[in-house]
Amino acid sequence: MLFIISSPSGAGKSTLCSHLLCSNDEIGESISVTTRQARQSESDGIHYYFKTIQQYEDLVAKNEFLEHANFCGNYYGTLKSEIERIKTLGKTTILFDIDYQGARQIKAHDQFDIVSVFIMPPSFEILENRLRNRKTDSQDAILKRIESAKKEINFAGEYDYIIINDRLDVAKNEITSIYTAETLRRKRGKYINMIPDYLA
């Protein structure tokens, strides 16, 4: 199962992804490629694969990406090789932290079993406060992210589920419930096939 989580910057996507990963050993996280500068707390190959624009363009030319997009002036993408990397680790679910553009591209691939969740902020005022409190972006970058958020939220209806991240504890429970329900739904066929053995 491919489990896609999208949201505007500052809505809590990364926190909810971390919660799922810490709570479920069977989930592996896809690491995205980006051309943006690494933040002080980020490491190459752990948080992102940091590439130059030329390296990124070479990967595009070689058709190495499952999905790729431009966001706030930087390029992002998921390498096709990430699917196999995570499968070799024995994971049954692959978690994607990507925007609506990437989600659309992945959904266009018929071979994947996909669940998608969009995380909404309670309001744009709260979103702006969260972005400022991170102290990782310039004023110009924050304004770009807010404008981008207004565009991204228009696509929330394309997702299977929508969560409003007003209270983090509630949002964590909701994302866990979605994951658990979708996992059980996929086991249904296996359990139905076991019924004759119960009745024998």
Percent of all residues in the chain with a pLDDT value above 90, rounded to a whole number: 72
Does 135 score more than 80 pLDDT?
A: no
d(CA 103, CA 144): 21
CATH number of the domain encompassing residue 138: 3.40.50.300
- Tokens 């995380």, located at residue: 119
Question: In this predicted structure, what is the pLDDT of residue 81?
Answer: 96
Binding-site residues, in ranges, read 7-14
DSSP secondary structure letters along 56-97: HHHHHHTT-EEEEEEETTEEEEEETHHHHHHHHTT-SEEEEE
Binding-site residues for ATP, in ranges, read 7-14
**Type and span of the H or E element at 151:** helix 139-152
Total number of domains in the chain: 1
pLDDT band, very low/low/confident/very high, at 10 (cuts 50, 70, 90): confident
Instruction: Provide the domain limits for residue 113.
Output: 2-199
What's the average model confidence in pLDDT over 132-160? 86
Half-sphere exposure of 160 (CA within 13 A, CB side): 16
Coil, helix or strand at residue 29? strand
What's the average model confidence in pLDDT over 117-131? 89
- CA dihedral sign of residues 17, 20, 22, 28: negative
Does 163 score more than 80 pLDDT?
A: yes
Coil, helix or strand at residue 113? coil
Q: Which among 164, 48, 150 has a CA at the least distance from the CA of 117?
A: 164
Q: What is the DSSP letter of 75?
A: E
- The residues, any chain, with a CB within 8 Å of residue 140's CB and separated by 6 or more, are none
12-31 tens-digit pLDDT: 899 999 999 999 999 999 99
Question: In this predicted structure, what is the pLDDT of residue 147?
Answer: 86
Does 62 score more than 90 pLDDT?
A: yes
Does 106 score more than 80 pLDDT?
A: yes
Q: Which among 91, 89, 82 has a CA at the least distance from the CA of 64?
A: 82
145-154 tens-digit pLDDT: 888 888 999 9
d(CA 194, CA 123): 48
- Tokens 């989580």, located at residue: 5
Does 127 score more than 80 pLDDT?
A: yes
